[in-house]
Amino acid sequence: MKKIQLEDKELQVLQTLEERGAMSPSQVSASTWLLPGETLTVLKSLSTEGLVLLRNDTYSPDGMVVTITQNARSYLSYTSTSIRRKKE
């Protein structure tokens, strides 16, 4: 697997998306306490890494929707397993 280094905020966003499913960037912002502009920057960066998919949705209050990719799910699962092993 490609080695990915994520910042805390990026990890927080990914974990929120993994737990709560697809949502609008505004919901991500409200759930993570990241400011709206900051959230969009983080989401765009994650999208470039192929960890989230960001697309338009006219029915969403902010006109966008974001979801986590399978790659990101695998990454999060790998990361949590590694942390558990280190603790043991």
Binding residues (CB under 8 A) for another protein: these are 21-27, 29-31, 33, 35-41, 53-65, 67, 69-70
**What torsion do the CA atoms of 76, 28, 34, 52 make, to the nearest 10 degrees?**
50
Closer to another protein by CB, 61 or 86: give it.
61
**To 5 degrees, how large is the angle CA 77–CA 83–CA 25?**
50
Side chain identity at 77, as an amino acid letter? S
Q: Which is nearer to another protein, 6 or 25 (CB)?
A: 25
| Minimum distance from residue 5 beta carbon to another protein (Å) | 22
